[in-house]
Amino acid sequence: FFLQKEDLQIYEKYCQNKPRSEALWRQCGDSIFFQECQRKLDHKLSLDAYLLKPVQRITKYQLLLKEMLKCSKNSEGTAELEEALATVLDIIKSVNDSMHQIAITGYEGDVSELGKLLMQGSFNVWTDHKKGHNKVKDLARFKPMQRHLFLYTKMLLFCKKREENTDGHEKTASYSFKNSLKMSTVGITENVKGDNKKFEIWYNGREEVYIIQASSVELKNTWISEIRKVLT
């Protein structure tokens, strides 16, 4: 089919490099060289506008495919269109995940050695590091921490999200590393009494317990499904 996942993966690398290209443009955008190139090519927009095009295009692919599917239900080529849409959505997810991943700070290891990044997202987290385990109702009295979790096949990272203004431009997020758990040593409890959006991840025979609250039951179930796949 005309959409091959391998060909589209270049978008992930391009988007990862986008912050660097933006920084370089802020440094060099006023140079006479770029102004002269724009004049010779008779371009109404400056180079930075064209550098944004690939980022916009990857999201437009999914809209185009969805519209094509609406017009081709139960017809020849429907299966291929559905496959192409699934591929594009997977690439968009990979791009989004990788953009968050490159913003992790303070992790002393190499994130590329943690395996594939499966999921990432923000949660309320309660922790208990004592030996044994207090009742959930006791833990729930304390104010939760806001943590951004990165689930890899080998490790679960807990980070704190920070937002900063850069050179008067939009806020950029970074993720300050706080803690990690090896996936080969953790257990999971899918349901926490009193809140169907919570689940537990525990370590070393429940010596360390992390109660994690998702924004919705659907999101919780998606994470539990991915964690179960890793554990099994």
- Beta strand 171-182 pairing with 104-105: parallel
pLDDT digits (tens, 9 = 90+) for 65-93: 888 888 887 777 788 888 888 888 888 88
Which helix (H) or strand (E) segment is 179 a member of? strand 171-182
CA distances from 207 to 69, 157, 202, 203 (A): 51, 18, 7, 6
Supply the mean pLDDT for the chain: 85
Cβ contact 210:125 at 8 Å: yes
**Cα–Cα distance measured from residue 153 to residue 226, given in angstroms and rounded to the nearest whole number:** 9
DSSP secondary structure string, 64-129? HHHHHHHT-TTSTTHHHHHHHHHHHHHHHHHHHHHHHHTTEES--S-GGGS--EEEEEEEEEEEE-
pLDDT band at 142 (very low <50, low <70, confident <90, very high): confident
Domains of the chain: 5-101 (1.20.900.10), 108-231 (2.30.29.30)
